């Protein structure tokens, strides 16, 4: 069923794909891999079987985010059919007529400290591997984040990450490490009393539109709280300072 070649328009076998149904981000999203490139369609295989794919109807609009070697591109497509006899794993989609690069806009990152859990993604299978590490973000935006960790991380590593929201809710995304700066002399601290050895900047390569919106709301709430705290501190300082001093 799989093909071994690649075309000249940006698609290649084993390209990693995030599939989002319409409306974007408000239905289950699927992580998949390109198995075959045809003139008018792509065959995709889910990395993990998901019965929700059976609810996607022929002709339904979808969005494909293709990622490889840290680069990502966006294309509009349509769901065509299941290919594996209803086992919820392999399916065909319309091959996008064109791809546009993602992350064209440089997002402003805000100083937001929230827990982040991460693991490396295997470049061959796109599955998380190794132990999960937990740290706290230094800053955050809809396009990426920065954190300090003592885990051994290299530029170009793909990471699977989650950010907690309220209750059991969470934001899940993947990203590529764009920069690693040593911080051993800065005395940064991590959870459980660990000392930080590197400051890591990550650019998101696979994240749903809905999760980007949730990150924006998280940033807005954090900024509101920070400004309220700063205003309260300034008011308290004004009250404590004698008039004319």
**In-domain check, residue 233:** no
**In-domain check, residue 240:** no
pLDDT beyond 90 at 44: yes
CB 44 within 8 A of CB 37: no
Bridge partner residues of 160 (DSSP): 119, 174
Range of the domain at 153: 115-222
Mean residue pLDDT across the chain: 78
Query: What pTM was computed for the model?
Result: 0.57
CB 95 within 8 A of CB 37: yes
**In-domain check, residue 158:** yes
165 shares its domain with 132: yes
**In-domain check, residue 6:** no
If one counts the domains in the chain, the total is: 2
131 shares its domain with 90: no
**Of the candidates 215, 166, 212, which has an alpha carbon nearest to the alpha carbon of residue 18?**
212
pLDDT beyond 70 at 70: no
pLDDT of residue 244: 58
Report for 1-5, 102-106, 188-192: range of highest mean pLDDT: 102-106
pLDDT of residue 192: 46
Q: How far is CA 211 from the centre of its chain?
A: 8
pLDDT beyond 50 at 53: yes
Tell me which residue has tokens 């984040």.
145
In tens, the pLDDT along 197-237 reads 789 999 888 888 778 888 888 888 887 787 788 888 888 88
pLDDT of residue 161: 92
Range in 73-82, 118-127, 200-209 the model is least confident about: 118-127
CATH number assigned to the domain comprising residue 47:
2.30.110.10
């Amino acid at each position: 069923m799989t093909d071994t070649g690649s075309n000249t328009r940006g698609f290649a076998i084993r390209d990693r794909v995030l599939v989002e149904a319409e409306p974007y981000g408000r239905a289950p999203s699927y992580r998949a891999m390109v198995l075959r490139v045809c003139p008018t369609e792509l065959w995709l295989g889910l990395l993990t079987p998901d019965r929700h794919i059976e609810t996607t109807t022929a002709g339904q609009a979808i969005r494909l985010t293709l990622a490889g070697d840290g680069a990502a591109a966006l294309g509009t497509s349509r769901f065509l059919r299941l290919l594996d006899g209803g086992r919820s794993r392999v399916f065909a989609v319309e091959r996008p007529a064109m791809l546009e690069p993602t992350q064209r806009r440089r997002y402003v990152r805000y100083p937001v400290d929230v827990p982040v859990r991460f693991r490396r993604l295997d470049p061959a299978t796109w599955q998380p591997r190794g132990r999960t590490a937990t740290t706290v973000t230094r800053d955050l935006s809809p396009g990426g984040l920065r954190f300090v960790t003592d885990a051994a991380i290299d530029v170009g590593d793909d990471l699977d990450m989650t950010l907690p929201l309220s209750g059991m809710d969470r934001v899940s995304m993947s990203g590529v490490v764009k920069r690693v700066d040593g911080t051993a002399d800065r005395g940064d601290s991590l959870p459980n009393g660990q000392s930080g050895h590197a400051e890591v900047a990550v650019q998101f390569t696979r994240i749903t539109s809905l999760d980007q919106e949730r990150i924006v709301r998280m940033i807005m709430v954090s900024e509101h709280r920070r400004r309220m705290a700063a205003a309260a501190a300034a008011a308290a300082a004004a009250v404590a300072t004698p008039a004319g001093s």
